[in-house]
Amino acid sequence: MILELDCGNSFIKWRVISPGGRERICAGIVDSDDGLFEALAGSGVKVQRCRLVSVRSDAETEQLVTRLKASLGVEVVCAQSSSQVGGVRNGYHDYQRLGLDRWLALLGGYHLGQRACLVVDLGTAVTADFVSADGEHLGGFICPGLPLMRDQLSTHTRRIRYDREVALAALQELEPGRSTAEAVERGCLLMLRGFVAEQLAQARSRFPGGFEVFLTGGDAELVRDAVPEAQVVPDLVFVGLAIACPLS
Ligand SMILES: Nc1ncnc2c1ncn2[C@@H]1O[C@H](COP(=O)(O)OP(=O)(O)OP(=O)(O)O)[C@@H](O)[C@H]1O
Ligand SMILES: CC(C)(CO)[C@@H](O)C(=O)NCCC(=O)O
Ligand SMILES: [K+]
């Protein structure tokens, strides 16, 4: 079995796939390293190999890798920055600065789409990246994701306060809010949808020959009806991880 990890700023997404990579055995989302080891122990699967991508600090990533090696007794392969992989060329001036989750998601998108693509990842941060039909990464955009937008509002104002359950209910529709929770939750979601719509408009003018749109990340579902033509691929980073870190 192969254990795959996507270590983001807020959560670790994990999954276990069959040795050939065709079958997904189990998967989950945890909010800490401890949570990961608990979930793995609970799943009862025997892991033989492990690969991961992390956008955490080098120290945090090394700590997790050390613990994985010790507790599972396996080698751990970490995705690394690269200027070129799988027919895609990194578009950053300094390719090492491009977030590895973005790099893998766009490798995955280009691999699945086989033509120009727009990849939008909606997590703690929201990112959009453009890849041309011939595999040139044209760069992208980063903005705060929904969790950061709402936290900033409540941190920097005195009267914006409401609890999490009210927030979830507020997103059932997008009429102008009649409570603080509705006004903030819907306002932030409209900002996200506006961002995604703008990326789509940019892709249309950049790629007149057509393109694929991929949505991924924990909040992808919240914007999907703003982009009916998009494919929602929750595991897109893992598609790219398999390309960047093939296990022989
Ligand atoms: N089961 C879940 N557990 C946690 N968050 C979830 C879950 N399902 C959906 N989400 C949403 O996913 C968002 C987090 O997205 P995601 O897990 O893609 O990124 P992240 O790890 O926080 O950050 P990064 O962008 O650095 O990967 C949260 O805002 C939350 O609303
Ligand atoms: C933007 C995030 C936080 C998204 O997870 C990550 O890709 C990252 O830390 N990137 C580094 C900065 C950059 O991509 O330019
Ligand atoms: K991510």
Annotated ligand binding at 117? The verdict is no
Q: Which atom of ligand 1 is nearest to the CA of 221?
A: 9
Q: Give the integer Cα–Cα distance in Å for 183 and 188.
A: 9
Question: pLDDT at residue 86 above 90?
Answer: no
Give me the residues paired with residue 232 across strands.
215
Spatial separation of the C-alpha atoms in residues 213 and 200, rounded to whole Å: 8
Residue ranges and CATH numbers for the domains of the chain are 2-78 (3.30.420.40), 85-145+187-236 (3.30.420.40)
11 assigned to a ligand binding site: yes
**Would you report the helix, strand and coil content of the chain in percent, each value rounded to 5?**
40, 25, 35
Helix H or strand E encompassing 206: helix 180-206
Nearest atom within ligand 2 for CA of residue 125: 4
Interface TM-score (ipTM) > 0.95: no
How much is the pTM? 0.96
Task: Give the pLDDT confidence of 152-196 residue by residue, as tens digits.
Answer: 999 999 999 999 899 889 999 999 999 999 999 999 999 999 999
- Catalytic sites, residue numbers: 101
143 in Cβ contact with 195 (< 8 Å):
yes
CA of 226 to the centre of ligand 1 (A): 19
In three-state secondary structure terms, 24 is: strand
